[in-house]
Structure 1
Amino acid sequence: MGDVGTARCDFPGGSAKDLYRSGRKLLDNLPGHVKIWTGHDYPPADTRKDQPMAYLTVDEHNARNKHLADGVIEEEYVSMRTARDKTMGAPRLLHQSLQINIRGGRMPQPTQAGLRLMHLPIQGGEW
């Protein structure tokens, strides 16, 4: 969304260059009235919005997307996105999400007991 910008690129297979180029390809080639529907919107606490938004038009993104607005060059974007991603902690459900995403949305196969198990890393500490 315009006030939040673009998603992070530091997950496995992520690329700030690829995200920039993909975003610019859409914004440079689609008509201005076309709506780009966002999968989710996380308005910052200091936002002027009182509700999350479902979409912005191409013209609205070009005018006010804080990361991909007209005039933002690739090197600037990649530098900003890479630096910002380094400051962000892992999402709460990262490991579970990756296991499902890698399988194309399919859950793990059930065990003989019928359980579908996810693998979770354990960091530090003694048992």
Structure 2
Amino acid sequence: MHVLGHLTIEEFLRDYWQKKPVLIRQAIPGFEPLLAADELAGLSLEEDIESRLIIEEGKTGPWEVKKGPFTETDYRALPENKWTLLVQAVDQWLPEAAELLEHFRFIPSWRIDDLMISYATDGGSVG
């Protein structure tokens, strides 16, 4: 599978890697999400899985960060929009995520920590 859209690995490493940002639309043609939003939220309920919510207009001010594990009550209390869920190390819990990382082994392994998956509502961001 080619994961860099129109760029070759050589072009990416030569022209972009650690030099300048690049947005690659449709980098993996036909890519389907590894998890549904409710499944990702389910991972964030687990004690052993690192997760956080970023709420743009939180009770304590802009860009409030809450660390998991979360409860279903936490999700019911969220505003309708302007929040993001981030779940770390999904590759350690989901074999398909670990397989996805294999396509990026052209990047030195010591530079790849884990696969984080995010879900954002309308207006959601990580700040």
Q: Provide TM-score, normalisation by structure 1.
A: 0.25
Name whichever structure is richer in strand by fraction: 2
- Asked which structure has the greater CA Rg, the reply is 1
Name whichever structure is richer in helix by fraction: 1
Q: Which has the higher contact order (CA 8 A, sep 6+)?
A: 1
